[in-house]
Structure 1
Amino acid sequence: MITVENVSKSFRSRTGSVVALDGVSLEVAAGAALGVVGPEGSGKSTLARVVSLQERPDAGAVRLDGLNTATLDTRTLRATRRQIGFVTGESQLFRQRTAAGNIALPLEQSGVDGPRRRARVGRLLDLIGLTDKAAAYPDDLSEGQRRRVAVARALVGEPGLLLADDPTANLDTDGAAGVLAVLDRARAELGVTLLVATKDTGVVRRICDDIALLEAGRLLEHGNLFELLRHPESRAVRELLPVIDATPSVGQDRVADIVLIGFAAVGALLPEAASRFGVQVSVLGGGLTRLGETPVARFRIGLRGERSDGALAWIDDRGGIVHQPLTGPQGVAA
Structure 2
Amino acid sequence: MITLENVSKSFLSRTGNVTALDGVSLDVPAGAALGVVGPAGAGKSTLARCVSLQERPDAGVVRLDGLNTATLDTRSLRATRRQIGFVGGEAQLFKQRTAAGNIALPLEQSGVDGPRRRARVGRLLDLIGLTEKAAAYPDDLTEGQRRRVAVARALVGEPGLLLADDPTANLDADGTAGVLAVLDRARAELGVTLLVTTQDNSVVRRICDDVALLDGGKLLEHGNLFNLLRDPDSRAVQALLPSIEGGASVHQDRVADVVLIGFAAVGALLPEATARFGTQVSVIGGGLTRLGETPVARFRIGLRGERADAALAWIADRGAIVHQPLSGPQGVVAA
TM-score by length of 2: 0.99
* SS, match of residue 324 in structure 1: strand
For residues 151-173 of structure 1, the C-alpha deviation after alignment (integer angstroms, 9 at most, x for no partner) is: 00000000000000000000000
- CA displacement at 1:82 relative to structure 2: 0.4
Tell me what 2:279 maps to: 279
* SS, match of residue 95 in structure 1: coil
* SS, match of residue 326 in structure 1: strand
* SS, match of residue 323 in structure 1: strand
**Whole-Å separation in 1 of the counterparts to 2:161 and 2:53:** 12
Contact 2:248/2:255 (8 A) holds in 1 = no
1:244-323 equivalence runs, <5 A: 244-323=244-323
User: What is the identity, as a one-letter code, of the residue corresponding to 2:34?
Assistant: L
Does residue 153 of structure 2 align to residue 169 of structure 1?
A: no
Does residue 51 of structure 2 align to residue 51 of structure 1?
A: yes
For residues 27-69 of structure 1, the C-alpha deviation after alignment (integer angstroms, 9 at most, x for no partner) is: 1000000000011100000000000000000000010110000
**Whole-Å separation in 2 of the counterparts to 1:39 and 1:195:** 17
User: What is the identity, as a one-letter code, of the residue corresponding to 2:282?
Assistant: S
How many residues were matched structurally?
Answer: 334
User: What is the identity, as a one-letter code, of the residue corresponding to 2:300?
Assistant: R
**Whole-Å separation in 1 of the counterparts to 2:189 and 2:237:** 30
Tell me what 2:103 maps to: 103
**Whole-Å separation in 2 of the counterparts to 1:326 and 1:54:** 50
* SS, match of residue 60 in structure 1: strand
Tell me what 2:206 maps to: 206
For residues 197-235 of structure 1, the C-alpha deviation after alignment (integer angstroms, 9 at most, x for no partner) is: 000001000000000000010001000000000111111
- CA displacement at 1:327 relative to structure 2: 2.5
**Whole-Å separation in 2 of the counterparts to 1:120 and 1:199:** 32
* SS, match of residue 237 in structure 2: helix
**Whole-Å separation in 2 of the counterparts to 1:236 and 1:311:** 29
**Whole-Å separation in 1 of the counterparts to 2:108 and 2:310:** 67
- CA displacement at 1:248 relative to structure 2: 4.4
Does residue 113 of structure 2 align to residue 119 of structure 1?
A: no
Contact 1:88/1:167 (8 A) holds in 2 = yes
Tell me what 1:16 maps to: 16
* SS, match of residue 56 in structure 1: coil
**Whole-Å separation in 2 of the counterparts to 1:248 and 1:212:** 32
* SS, match of residue 325 in structure 1: strand
* SS, match of residue 329 in structure 1: coil
Contact 2:248/2:334 (8 A) holds in 1 = no
For residues 240-278 of structure 1, the C-alpha deviation after alignment (integer angstroms, 9 at most, x for no partner) is: 000101044111000000000000000000001111111
Does residue 157 of structure 2 align to residue 157 of structure 1?
A: yes
**Whole-Å separation in 1 of the counterparts to 2:190 and 2:135:** 24
Contact 2:86/2:154 (8 A) holds in 1 = yes
- CA displacement at 1:15 relative to structure 2: 2.2
**Whole-Å separation in 2 of the counterparts to 1:117 and 1:101:** 10
Tell me what 2:71 maps to: 71
**Whole-Å separation in 2 of the counterparts to 1:266 and 1:165:** 33
Tell me what 2:131 maps to: 131
Tell me what 1:87 maps to: 87
**Whole-Å separation in 2 of the counterparts to 1:148 and 1:332:** 52
**Whole-Å separation in 1 of the counterparts to 2:293 and 2:71:** 41
* SS, match of residue 24 in structure 1: strand
* SS, match of residue 236 in structure 1: helix
**Whole-Å separation in 2 of the counterparts to 1:329 and 1:275:** 23
The root-mean-square deviation of aligned C-alpha atoms, in Å, is: 0.8
**Whole-Å separation in 2 of the counterparts to 1:175 and 1:15:** 37
- CA displacement at 1:328 relative to structure 2: 2.0
- CA displacement at 1:333 relative to structure 2: 4.0
- CA displacement at 1:14 relative to structure 2: 1.9
Tell me what 1:328 maps to: 328
Gap runs ≥5 in structure 2 = none
Mean Cα displacement is larger for which, 212-221 or 321-330?
Answer: 321-330
Contact 1:229/1:236 (8 A) holds in 2 = no
